[in-house]
Chain A
Amino acid sequence: MRRYRFLFEQMVRRELRQKYKGSALGVLWYFVNPLVLMGAYALVFSVLLKVAGGIEDYPLFLLVGLIVWVFFSQALLSAAPSLVLNGSLVKKVRFPRESIPASVATVQLFTFLVMLAVVAPVALLMRDSLDPALALLPVIVVLLFAFVLGASLVVSVLHAHFRDVEPVLAAALLPWFFLTPIFLPVEKMPGVGEHPWLGDLLQWGNPVAPFIEAVRDVLFAGAAPTVANLAYLLGVGGGALIVGLVLFRRMGRDLAVLL
């Protein structure tokens, strides 16, 4: 593993620069897209639709949830075609193929961390939410990355086998976004009041929801997430990573022939 540390570094560097090479803004484009997206959502939900529902500092509430979602969705969308795009490497040299989707996910992690570094101090200041629970944030981020990495491995190797995976994923992410408690907390989402089981489903049936809740607990509410929630993150993060690695190893055997 140590032998390939330099390779991973090179792959991340390559991934980071390849996409926007030759463009005027270069690497900055990695931040332009999520910022525009978040600006648009903040505008639509807080100003035009007025969903705020009595939530204080609503734009901030929205932003905290959005950065987690943007990380998750951008990582998956760019990981899915990554093996196919790097087919020429896979066919010619032997190296751990996991490094391709992993480097894509890592680049998105950098973007996420930069966003977090901007949003977190603002949230802590505005919400006066500085609390010892903040110490849990790095743990949550590590588990979130494990989850995203595992999912990236799965979608990339599946896409190498079935080229529909990327479009299916792109289509699925849209309704998924609205079922995720980003613009409202679960308890305020429509229908949850009358049907408590719906709340449980939205909370625990969607692996992204507990991550958003946890980050929001720490940054927005200044409180520690529940033990149940943390246990869930540990299970989902570790589980996704293990499933991803195992599946990638099994389905990735013949990548050089498939691509």
Chain B
Amino acid sequence: MSPRPGEIVLEGATRSFSLRHEHSRTLKELFIRGGHAKRTVVTALDGVDLRVEPGEAVGLVGRNGAGKTSTLRCLAGIVPLDSGRAECGGRTVSLLELGAGFGEEFSGRENIYLNGALHGFGRREMEERIEAIVEFSELGEFIHAPVKAYSAGMQLRLGFSIVAHLDADVMLIDEILAVGDESFQRKCLARVSERMEAGATLVLVSHDPMAIERVCRRLVVFDGGKVAYDGEVPEGLLFYHRLLGTTEGASRSVRPGDRRADLEIAELELQDAQGRRRHMFRTGERLTVALEVDCVQPADRAVAALEVRDAHGALCFRTETALGRVDGTVEVSFAVERLALLGGDYDLAVGVFDQDAPGGGLLDRIAHFSVAQTPEGEGVADLRGAWTVSGRAGEAVPR
């Protein structure tokens, strides 16, 4: 039974890649190894079952190689499955990577036609849409320039504008909303919502939790080619960040060269109220920054400094404290009772140094964390204000 328009069905979808395929083969290799080359088989999809109803917006996240992009490619029909079923009902359009199928030498306009044709549209259907696509892309006169002259942002605009106007039942989009300026992103999201109200289904792969939170009502976390989580977005993002935290380094050092400081941060961890390591927090939650400092040489006037910057690198908060005399191993923590940051990605930089030593003041350990989006506010800081309204409907309100 084929799926209804907008419905997506994955049943026992399995696909593995032989790594030998990654580089091109030559006849010489074939003769020498007699076609029995050693190969490493990577299972990108391991019996995935997933069903998406028409009109749903689903985000896919996972570590690199977890199977999210493979899922998208199999759904788009670009890569066939080894076994199982991967079907999208109705017309499917895909926007995988930047500038899907752009002929570099051709103008933006010519590329719109080519892209429509690749998605199975006819000349008349494209002629009906071209003006709307050009207008949406905001490329103006550049639409007549060859695409090779476009910036990444312009290619994105063009690619998204095309896909958004192809009246698809299923839209498969990979890592796209992460690029481009804020106003265009907003426009894209509005267009996506519009398409979804018309009954279209969206599957979005992204590393950007904000993009997923804004658009998707359902999140699927892939791990090792399997579905590890399927459900609500905020819980899913917490699950995902816990998954990341278990294997990836919690923080990294940005100390230039191999200069060893007298005071070394051995450990930097972000913890939740239960003392568990986390990278994803919610506004209003408790957050603790825990440090373990190794003193290579005792210091008399040690100082710990900490700062938080947003995704654009703007300083949100900075503080420092005197530690006094330190020796051996010292544990330092900074506790935030109620996290007053709003949704977004943040960098936390920490440094411990001797005030009297030369070259001090360097914040050389950086940890990355995200705050889940809340519907209450946008921006960086949660000002915890409360609205009151007087002069309710019915009373005379001056206009």
Residues of A at the B interface (CB closer than 8 Å) are: 3-7, 9-11, 14, 17-18, 21-22, 88-95, 161-165, 168, 253-254, 256-258
A–B pairs, 6, beta carbons within 8 Å: A6-B121, A9-B117, A93-B115, A94-B77, A161-B25, A163-B24
Query: A257 to B17, Cβ gap below 8 A?
Result: yes
Q: Is B390 an interface residue (CB 8 A)?
A: no
B interface, size bucket? 35 or more
Flag the segment in B93-101, B275-283, B287-295 that touches A.
B93-101
Which residue of the partner chain, among A7, A92, A161, contacts B78 with CB atoms under 8 Å? A92
A14 and B25 in contact, given A93-B78, A94-B77, A253-B80 (Cβ under 8 angstroms): no
A123 shortest CB reach to chain B, Å: 38
If over half of A's interface residues share one DSSP class (helix, strand or loop), that class is named, otherwise mixed; here it is: helix
Which residue of the partner chain, among A14, A22, A95, contacts B120 with CB atoms under 8 Å? A95
Query: B21 to A257, Cβ gap below 8 A?
Result: yes
B 232-267 contacts with A by CB, 8 A: none
Closest 5 pairs (CB-CB, A-B): A94-B77, A7-B117, A92-B100, A10-B117, A164-B27
Query: A162 to B30, Cβ gap below 8 A?
Result: yes
Which residue of the partner chain, among A4, A93, A254, A257, contacts B100 with CB atoms under 8 Å? A93
Q: Tell me which residues across on chain B come within 8 A of A258, comparing CB atoms.
A: 21, 24
**How many angstroms between the C-alpha atoms of A237 and B325 in the bound complex?**
90
Q: Tell me which residues across on chain B come within 8 A of A164, comparing CB atoms.
A: 26-28
**How many angstroms between the C-alpha atoms of A3 and B77 in the bound complex?**
17
Q: Is B191 an interface residue (CB 8 A)?
A: no
Q: Tell me which residues across on chain A come within 8 A of B224, comparing CB atoms.
A: none
Q: Is B126 an interface residue (CB 8 A)?
A: yes
**How many angstroms between the C-alpha atoms of A149 and B389 in the bound complex?**
75
**How many angstroms between the C-alpha atoms of A14 and B110 in the bound complex?**
9
Query: B79 to A162, Cβ gap below 8 A?
Result: no
Q: Is B180 an interface residue (CB 8 A)?
A: no
A22 and B105 in contact, given A6-B126, A253-B80, A254-B80 (Cβ under 8 angstroms): yes
Q: Tell me which residues across on chain A come within 8 A of B115, comparing CB atoms.
A: 93
B 45-102 contacts with A by CB, 8 A: 73, 76-80, 92, 94, 96-97, 100-102
- Cβ-closest chain A residue relative to B17: A257
Which residue of the partner chain, among B28, B80, B97, B105, contacts A18 with CB atoms under 8 Å? B105
**How many angstroms between the C-alpha atoms of A5 and B17 in the bound complex?**
33
Q: Tell me which residues across on chain B come within 8 A of A9, comparing CB atoms.
A: 117, 123
Query: A93 to B101, Cβ gap below 8 A?
Result: yes
**How many angstroms between the C-alpha atoms of A2 and B303 in the bound complex?**
74
Q: Is B114 an interface residue (CB 8 A)?
A: yes
Q: Tell me which residues across on chain A come within 8 A of B97, comparing CB atoms.
A: 92
Encode contact with A along B116-156: 1 for CB under 8 Å, 0 otherwise.
11111111001000000000000000000000000000000
Query: A162 to B114, Cβ gap below 8 A?
Result: no
Q: Tell me which residues across on chain B come within 8 A of A18, comparing CB atoms.
A: 103, 105-106
Which residue of the partner chain, among A89, A94, A253, contacts B76 with CB atoms under 8 Å? A94
- Cβ-closest chain B residue relative to A8: B117
Which residue of the partner chain, among A22, A92, A163, A253, contacts B101 with CB atoms under 8 Å? A92
Q: Tell me which residues across on chain B come within 8 A of A162, comparing CB atoms.
A: 25-27, 30
**How many angstroms between the C-alpha atoms of A90 and B101 in the bound complex?**
8
Q: Is B346 an interface residue (CB 8 A)?
A: no
Q: Is B222 an interface residue (CB 8 A)?
A: no
Q: Tell me which residues across on chain A come within 8 A of B118, comparing CB atoms.
A: 7, 89, 93, 95
Q: Tell me which residues across on chain A come within 8 A of B78, comparing CB atoms.
A: 90-94, 256
Q: Is B369 an interface residue (CB 8 A)?
A: no
- Cβ-closest chain A residue relative to B174: A92
Q: Is B113 an interface residue (CB 8 A)?
A: yes
**How many angstroms between the C-alpha atoms of A254 and B100 in the bound complex?**
19
- Cβ-closest chain B residue relative to A2: B122
Q: Tell me which residues across on chain B come within 8 A of A161, comparing CB atoms.
A: 25
Which residue of the partner chain, among B94, B105, B110, contacts A94 with CB atoms under 8 Å? B94
